[in-house]
């Protein structure tokens, strides 16, 4: 399907932005160079009549993205958390995309619930409200469970949503391939792999059984986190297209004035949301990867309540350690160590100069530490970071896309609550705690024990492995050569020693 027909889709994308008036606002919000703005307007103007009109009651950019489809809406949701990147006016327009999109009829939602769960809605719920929130993929209804009277949130997928997403993603794949073919310099950014990663994330979000599992796992991981709640999933009331969670009462995190009027400390909340994200990412390696204001509330007791677990991120233990060392290096302004970690992890090609890379990182980090938070231009910072990655041949790491994207979103949420937040000071205790527990003598001993335990499981097979090695050497050896029994004996001895170490470690630890 990724054929030339997608050119038409891309043309309509630009034409829709031009027709709705979103082109000018978007280019200005993103601080695009004047020449590029002029070129975009000149190219887009002749095709203006081909664009979608959209909902005339909505602001221009929101109107354009909602007319184009769910994948575009997802992109807008990310930008809505970053007024420092797109400007206050554009961010405010995009915030509508989080949970205030036009809903589909309640009767269709009820029919979906009945079909998916195999029982009439009235037998399952004594009450079933009109939509209380509607986003790009699904909408939510407040309901009361029949018999128990428990308040729940019932999430129902939009009709034909999977087909719509596949159409958009198909066009994105075509665009990525076109960019790589016409602009070879962009290949290091791996646009095709990035879109493939995005596709995997989105398609997983369209199966609400996976979201039920994610909610359950995330709730178990965070039960002991002070000031944080995750609603309980109802497995018997959930399926592929329906998800039922406990009702989360509270004020949406995007309504800052309402939060302050209710007596909550917005500064403390800004710090907590950032520290919670870092704690989940580093401690658990499993984090909420869609933490915009539309998916967070402040409970009456001041707790932060998270919901909508369609996009969750996972990073392995090695990557967590690399990420933590990079963060702590920036926090301590040890740019040489940050550079070394990038080289050790293979993020920067070995033929580049580590000292030169360290100086480039200093140029990124120092302005952040030397400037008031309200004066930091994240747009300019991201622009310079892009220049640095290009200069040093760094390729996009698809395994870190969700982590990096979520960090950007969470920082935006924190800044909306407290524009003066210093993200490095707030992050420092969480990162330092992780470093103490996972990078050092204690962690080394733990890693050795794990290694020994793994090797010990192969202990009974070591004699057979040694014999097989001897036989293969005998068959392959030249007439003048003799197989080395010493090598085989050493292998057996090493295996026995590691097995003994494992048993001793298990006994003592």
Average pLDDT of span 179-207: 71
Angle at the Cα of 204 from the Cα atoms of 200 and 206, rounded to 5 degrees = 125
pLDDT of residue 2: 56
What value does the mean pLDDT of the chain take?
78
pLDDT in tens, 380-389: 555 566 567 7
Domain ranges of the chain: 5-99, 162-203, 249-439, 442-508
Mean pLDDT of 100-124: 92
- Where is average pLDDT lowest: 309-318, 348-357, 374-383, 458-467? 374-383
Handedness of CA 304, 307, 313, 317 (dihedral sign): positive
Contact 266, 260 (CB under 8 A): yes
* Range from 184-188, 215-219, 274-278 carrying the lowest mean pLDDT: 184-188
Whole-angstrom distance, CA of residue 26 vs CA of residue 80:
12
Least confidently predicted of 46-50, 384-388, 434-438: 384-388
The per-residue pLDDT for 306 is 94
Beta-bridged to residue 244, according to DSSP, are: 154
pLDDT per position as a tens digit, 134-167: 877 889 999 999 989 999 999 999 988 888 788 7
Q: Say if residue 504's pLDDT is above 50.
A: no
Which tens digit of pLDDT belongs to each residue from 362-403? 887 777 665 555 665 555 555 566 567 767 777 666 556 677
Q: pLDDT tens digit string along 58-95?
A: 888 888 888 887 778 877 776 666 665 666 677 777 77
Tell me the angle at which helices 266-279 and 401-417 cross, rounded to the nearest 10 degrees.
170
Residue 51 to residues 20, 61, 168, 471, 499, Cα–Cα distance (Å): 8, 13, 15, 72, 69
pTM of the model: 0.70
Q: What is the CA radius of gyration of the chain?
A: 27
Q: Mean pLDDT, to the nearest integer, of 284-299?
A: 90
Q: What is the token pair recorded at 59? A: 């602001």
Strand-pair partners of 155: 140, 243
Is 239's pLDDT higher than 90? Answer: yes
Nearest alpha carbon to residue 154 among 172, 142, 137, 169: 142
Give the confidence band of 203 by pLDDT, cuts at 50, 70, 90.
confident
Contact predicate 286/313, CB 8 Å:
yes
Could you give the residue numbers annotated as active site?
A: 290
Highest mean pLDDT among 236-245, 331-340, 365-374: 236-245
List the single range of 58-72, 129-143, 202-216, 336-350 with lowest mean pLDDT: 58-72
From residue 169, give the alpha-carbon distance in Å to each of 10, 23, 98, 166, 380: 12, 21, 20, 5, 29
Helix, strand, coil percent content, the chain, rounded in steps of 5: 65, 10, 25
């Amino acid at each position: 399907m990724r054929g030339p027909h997608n050119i038409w889709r891309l043309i309509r994308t630009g034409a829709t932005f031009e027709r709705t008036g979103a082109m000018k606002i978007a280019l200005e919000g993103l601080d695009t160079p004047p020449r590029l703005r002029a070129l975009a307007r000149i190219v887009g103007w002749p095709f203006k009549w081909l664009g979608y009109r959209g909902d005339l009651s909505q602001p221009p950019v929101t109107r354009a993205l909602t007319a184009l489809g769910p994948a575009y809406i997802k992109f807008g949701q990310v930008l809505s958390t970053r007024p420092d990147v797109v400007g206050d006016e554009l961010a405010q327009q995009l915030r509508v995309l989080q949970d205030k999109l036009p809903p589909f009829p309640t009767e269709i939602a009820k029919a979906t619930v009945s079909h998916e769960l195999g029982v009439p809605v009235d037998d399952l719920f004594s009450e079933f409200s009109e939509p209380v929130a509607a986003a790009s993929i699904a909408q939510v209804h407040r309901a009361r469970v029949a018999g128990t009277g428990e308040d729940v949130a019932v999430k129902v997928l939009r009709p034909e949503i999977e087909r719509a997403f596949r159409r958009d993603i198909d066009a994105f794949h075509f665009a990525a391939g076109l960019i790589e073919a016409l602009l070879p310099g962009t290949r290091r950014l791996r646009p095709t792999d990035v879109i493939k990663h995005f596709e995997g994330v989105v398609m997983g979000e369209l199966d609400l059984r996976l979201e039920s599992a994610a909610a359950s796992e995330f709730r178990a991981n965070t039960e002991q986190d002070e000031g944080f709640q995750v609603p309980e999933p109802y497995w018997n009331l959930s399926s592929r297209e329906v998800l039922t969670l406990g009702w989360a009462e509270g004020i949406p995190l995007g309504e800052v004035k309402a939060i302050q009027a209710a007596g909550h400390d917005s500064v403390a909340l800004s710090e907590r949301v950032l520290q919670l994200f870092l704690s989940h990412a580093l401690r658990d390696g499993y984090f909420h990867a869609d933490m915009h204001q539309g998916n967070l509330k402040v409970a009456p007791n001041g707790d932060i309540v998270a919901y909508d677990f369609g996009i969750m991120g996972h990073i392995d233990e090695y990557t967590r350690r690399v990420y933590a060392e990079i963060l702590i290096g920036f926090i301590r302004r040890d740019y040489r160590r940050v550079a070394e970690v990038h080289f050790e992890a293979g993020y920067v090609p070995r033929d580049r100069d580590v000292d030169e890379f360290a100086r480039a990182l200093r140029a990124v980090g120092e302005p952040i530490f030397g400037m008031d938070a309200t004066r930091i231009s994240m747009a300019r910072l991201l622009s310079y970071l892009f220049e640095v990655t290009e200069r040093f041949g760094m390729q996009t790491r698809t395994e870190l896309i969700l982590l990096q994207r979520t960090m950007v979103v969470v920082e935006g949420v924190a800044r909306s609550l407290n524009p003066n937040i210093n993200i490095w000071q707030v992050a420092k205790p969480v990162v330092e705690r992780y470093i103490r527990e996972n990078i050092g003598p204690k962690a080394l001993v733990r890693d050795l024990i794990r290694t020994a335990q793994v090797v010990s499981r192969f202990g009974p097979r070591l004699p057979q492995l040694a014999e097989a090695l001897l036989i293969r050497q005998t068959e392959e050896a030249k007439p003048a050569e003799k197989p080395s029994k010493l090598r085989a004996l050493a292998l057996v001895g090493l295996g026995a020693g590691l097995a003994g170490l494992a048993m001793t470690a298990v006994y003592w630890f």
